[in-house]
Each structure stands twice: as structure tokens, then as C-alpha cells.
Amino acid sequence: MRRKIKPGNFPRHEDMHGVLPPHCWTNYPGELFNVRAGPNYAKTGNKQPSLESLYEVFAVDAYNTQGKMPHIGKDVELPPYNGTKLSLPEFIIINLMVPGYAPSLMWAAAGDGVGWSLIIYGRLKPSIREQLAAGRTTNAMNLVSNLVSAKEDSPLRKRFKIIAQVLNPDECGFGSSTASMVKKYNGKPFLVRTTSSFYSGENYFEICVDAHNFGKPARLGLWGFREVFQSVIFTGGFVVEGVDDKELPEQMLMACKYSKPDIESLPWFPDLTKEPAPDMSDLKTYLPSRCAGGEPEPGPADLLSKRDGEEGRGARRGSTRAEHNDTPSPT
């Protein structure tokens, strides 16, 4: 039987306005992003601060992966929701799938391979839920609803945008090419036209972004970030592109602020066909008969000697241990 994971392995910090410790995230106000506004945006290029985000992030996951893992929502145990179904899904999941290997010397993308995923889980804000229930929708709410219900080949499915901004670029130690790219594109929205995919489930809508197949300049930029990620403080927000006045002003879906993520220490995504490894922090749980009988609890030396003895017997029998294989498995 396939089990599900509970979201939230990436630590959360509640104070969005203070100094964040390393390797954590916090919600970030949608009002701090400038978005398209009408009337006649095509002519005026007018932008204004977004209204509040439609969703509030309640959990973030970060995992090493042997290959791309689209539609993560089917493997996640989301909070229960028994309320009225509205024109927007109760939950939204953004699944960013990032390559962990150097870009090929060839221009074409490799397509898949070992990497890591940053998965952001949002839930409708109570204020937005109240507006929807009362029929007081904004142009942006209607646009997102149309995206959710759109067919796979709909042009709306090419309108998902990411707005990422490094907040401390002078402290990160970027190489020259990465520093140039950050300076040019920092905080500017970019469309994910051809490398996104969309999945629906009970009460959720998932947007997957396949960075393995980004254009080569973007993949080179991501690779340049890898060695300095632990120094980077950045924000990341998501929005659906509005084009004409009936779709404007845009309104942020949700946004986070991230502080110095340690991507080198991320756990591997678990095998969901197996039970999770036991927590060995309390040996009484796993040695009930010995501990209940009054015998002393085993210390580190006892455990090491037992383990070494088992391994020694295995070696004398000529057994071999399977080595960890980093070759990506097919998905």
C-alpha cells in the first residue's frame, strides 16, 4: 500500500519582518509585489502593488530526488477540508523541479536527472474564501478560476509567472556571469510557457515547473546559484498573467521569503511503498522486553558491537552490500 507524506519538512519562521535564521521560510506579503494594472496595460505599462495574496503558504517541502516528480499532490496528506466548494480550489501546490547536474555543453536540455524539488503549499485565505462565497470576485480571481478549469492545450496554461528577487546580492559571492544575470533579471516576472504542467485533485490544484527543461541561460544561472545558495536570501511569488482590462489588475497567488537554504543537506524523497524508518531516539520503544525486565538500556558501545558482529558475520558468509545508486530512475 502506498503511503502519503505530511507536508512541511522545510522549517518555517513566523516573523516575516525580522531577520530570519538560515535554512527557513516565512510568508511574504503579496502587497510588496508590483503587478500589471489597467486600464489599457498594453499601452501604458502601468503597474501597482498587488492586493493581498489569494493563498497563504502553510507548508514548504524540499527534497533531493532521483528524477523529476510531477503531480506530487497525489502523494501528500493535505489538511482536511469539508467546506463548500468554491470557484477556486481550497489548496494550491507549486512544485519547482530543479536539476542537480551541470548543464550540458549542448544547447538542448537533458530533460531529466538527479535534482531537487521545492514544493510550496498554499491554502485559501479566510478573507478570500468569504469573498468567493459571497460572489464578490475580482478580475484576478476569475482569471485564476479560468486557468484551473482550462483544457490542457489552452493558451491560459502558458500564463503562469514567477517573480523571484535576491535581497542580498552583494553578500552572496556570485560568479561574474551569475552576478550579471541577477542584476539584469532580479525581481522581474518571467513566464513559464512551455515547461509547466497542471494537475487537479480533491480540493487542490498543482502547478509543476520543470526547470530541467528551461533554456540554457536559465539552467546555467540555476547551476551558478548552487554553490552559494547557503548565502542567499530571496523572495519568490507566483501570479497568473493578466492581458486585457477584464483580467486586470493581477493579484498574487502566494509568496514566500527564504533564508539561506542548505540544499546540500536536503533529505531524499522517501520510498512511499515502504514504512518510514523508525525513530531511534527512544530505544525503549524498540527494545521493550529488555528495558521492561529491569536490564540496563544498551549504550552506544552495545549497539556498535552488535552491528559490527552482524556485519562481520555477513562478510564471513561472503555477502555484499548494495551500493547507493545515484542514477536517475525512470519516471
Using one digit for the tens of pLDDT, what is the confidence trace for 237-259? 999 999 999 999 999 999 999 99
Question: Can you give the pLDDT at residue 300?
Answer: 38
Question: CA end-to-end span of the chain, whole Å?
Answer: 19
Comparing C-alpha atoms, which of 135, 89, 26 is closest to residue 253?
A: 89
CA distance 189 to 193: 12
Is residue 308 over pLDDT 60? no
Question: Can you give the pLDDT at residue 329?
Answer: 35
Query: What percent of the chain shows pLDDT beyond 70?
Result: 82
Question: Can you give the pLDDT at residue 104?
Answer: 78
Phi, psi of 139, rounded to the nearest 5 degrees: -60, -40
Question: Can you give the pLDDT at residue 63?
Answer: 98
Is residue 307 over pLDDT 50? no
Higher pLDDT, 324 or 294: 294
The model's confidence at residue 17, banded by pLDDT at 50, 70 and 90, is: confident
Using one digit for the tens of pLDDT, what is the confidence trace for 125-155? 999 999 999 999 999 999 999 999 999 999 9
CA distance 229 to 231: 5
pTM (predicted TM-score): 0.83
The model's confidence at residue 108, banded by pLDDT at 50, 70 and 90, is: low
Question: Can you give the pLDDT at residue 111?
Answer: 83
The per-residue DSSP string of 27-75 comes to E--GGGSEEE--SSHHHH--EEE--S-SEEEEEEEEEEESS----GGGG
